[in-house]
Amino acid sequence: MSDLVLLIWLIIGLVALEILRPFFKSIRDVAGFLFFPFLALLLIFVSSFVYGFRPEIIPLGIVLFFIAVFRIPMLISLMQGLRIDEDRNPSLIRVSIGILFLGLAGFIAIHFSPQEGLYTRPTSDALAYETMVLKGQNGSPEYFVRKYVSKENEPKGTILLIPPVNGSVEVVDTICVALKSCGFSVLTFSQPGIDIPAYDVFNKAIFPSIRNTGSYVLSFIAGLQVKAAHQYGIYFEKARMEALDFLLKNIEVAEKLYVVGYGAGGAAALKYTAEHAETNIAGIINVEGPLYSVLEFPDSGGKTSGLFMLLETLRPHPAVHIGTIPAVQKPLLILASDKIKLTDQRDSRYATLVRTVHMAQAPAVIAALTGAGPFDYSDVPMQYPVYSALMGGDGNRVRNSGYYIDATVALISNFICSIERQSIGNAESSCSSIPVSGDVYIEYNDFIKSYNPREVVGK
């Protein structure tokens, strides 16, 4: 049992004891129990500094807040030297409701807490990567770069991994370490002001402004339906594209580079590669990165009044026109939720990616693990299980949280190996496929004469 779960049990026990106190004569008159809900709230607040933001604890925090609020009049009476007579006739219904909500919130917090050992990683893990700071001139953005360097004499290749905005490099650490063990050298980075949070060279979290955090949340939830949120999505996509351009010009990489981009980073990789055909990017892996910048929302019809424009901007627009799709000329792999098989999802969230694959001027494949949601191709299933539970895929989810991480590494490695095998002079490449267990949805374009899409799943 992890320390976090023990803390949650302590909090639940303290509050439950205070709620049930009126039913036990031996402790009914112990007024100090009234402070337990406030102590529990304080423990939750302190835990956020120790364990970071834990979404599964939010319901428990809300329940404790309301319990504490209802205890304020009783504390005021106590401080005025008055007796708390209402405890003499406890309401069974009120106590039952309190215990019910406390138990439900506690179950969510415990059931979706991260697996044991997440916060007690071995010291050797810290030596898995090197860190450095890259900063341009004239006040350009600062990037904290991590390098997972393979110890093999002839590594399979270099991967530039653009992490998801939500979680940054910490939610792809296991992916990077696993790719390194497969023989790849991996570069990834944190971008202060964009990533939530970014991490510096001392692995210290740097949180962006509340405004930027809210902008990202809105873009993720409603960026494909609401015009204002859509603009935020374009902003993050542009920031990732600028970061990719800067890093490619300021870091030394092997002759061939493979770009793995999550979310806005995946969209930026598609656009950048289409606009810079001369780069040494040999392949692209886009992980749940729809193209916000090619979506066109209807205009206001000439009506420019302030109130009308505000309402029009905030009103959902289900039907969105897709503009010019970038002409990708490098091998492409799309990793997406298995909801990409559903017609309504293909016509909305994944419309730009499906069109990109079938309009690509190189081999392009869509792969989706059964039951996978948009967060499952990273460390999120281990670190934030509640996200995977809230946003799962269409098929039956694989219970083993490590499955999606292992399968993601295998899909990326197999895709790169398939490119290497088809390259001139690499027909006898020692790069071997890793079989992916379970069902994998595969969809590909017409470039199949010189490319076998089944190689991606290693079967």
Query: DSSP letters along 299-348, please?
Result: --TT---HHHHHHHHHSB-S--EE-PPP---S-EEEE--GGGGSHHHHTT
d(CA 130, CA 145): 8
114/298: higher pLDDT: 114
Q: Provide φ and ψ at 458, rounded to 5°.
A: 70, 30
- pLDDT greater than 80 at residue 359: yes
For the chain, percent of residues with pLDDT exceeding 70: 82
Q: Report CA 372 to chain centroid distance, whole Å.
A: 13
Query: DSSP letters along 418-440, please?
Result: HHHHHSTT-TT---------S-E
Of the candidate ranges 169-173, 231-235, 364-368, 424-428, the one whose mean pLDDT is the lowest: 424-428
In this prediction, residues 317-340 reach a mean pLDDT of 85
In this prediction, residues 110-129 reach a mean pLDDT of 62
- pLDDT greater than 90 at residue 145: yes
Q: Any bridge partners for residue 295, and if so which? A: 322
d(CA 208, CA 158): 29
- pLDDT greater than 80 at residue 117: no
CB 431 within 8 A of CB 200: no
For residue 380, the model assigns a pLDDT of 87
Q: pLDDT digits over 265-320, tens only?
A: 999 999 999 998 888 898 999 999 999 999 887 665 545 455 555 555 556 655 46
323/316: higher pLDDT: 323
Under the banding of pLDDT at 50, 70 and 90, the label for residue 172 is very high
For residue 34, the model assigns a pLDDT of 81
For residue 397, the model assigns a pLDDT of 84
- pLDDT greater than 60 at residue 168: yes
Q: pLDDT digits over 404-429, tens only?
A: 999 999 999 999 988 877 765 555 55
Under the banding of pLDDT at 50, 70 and 90, the label for residue 135 is confident
In this prediction, residues 322-328 reach a mean pLDDT of 88
Q: In whole angstroms, how far apart are CA 205 and each of 118, 168, 176, 261, 386?
A: 16, 10, 19, 21, 21
- pLDDT greater than 50 at residue 122: no
In this prediction, residues 131-140 reach a mean pLDDT of 79
H helices within 360-452, ranges in order? 380-383, 385-390, 401-422
For residue 119, the model assigns a pLDDT of 47
In this prediction, residues 155-160 reach a mean pLDDT of 84
For residue 228, the model assigns a pLDDT of 80
d(CA 389, CA 319): 28
- pLDDT greater than 50 at residue 121: no
What does the mean pLDDT of the chain come to? 83
For the chain, percent of residues with pLDDT exceeding 90: 36
Sign for the CA dihedral angle at 380, 386, 387, 390 comes to: positive
- pLDDT greater than 50 at residue 120: no
Q: pLDDT digits over 51-103, tens only?
A: 878 889 999 999 999 998 888 877 777 666 555 555 556 678 888 888 899 99
- pLDDT greater than 50 at residue 46: yes
For residue 128, the model assigns a pLDDT of 79
290/154: higher pLDDT: 290
137/441: higher pLDDT: 441
For residue 87, the model assigns a pLDDT of 53
Q: pLDDT digits over 441-453, tens only?
A: 998 888 765 566 6
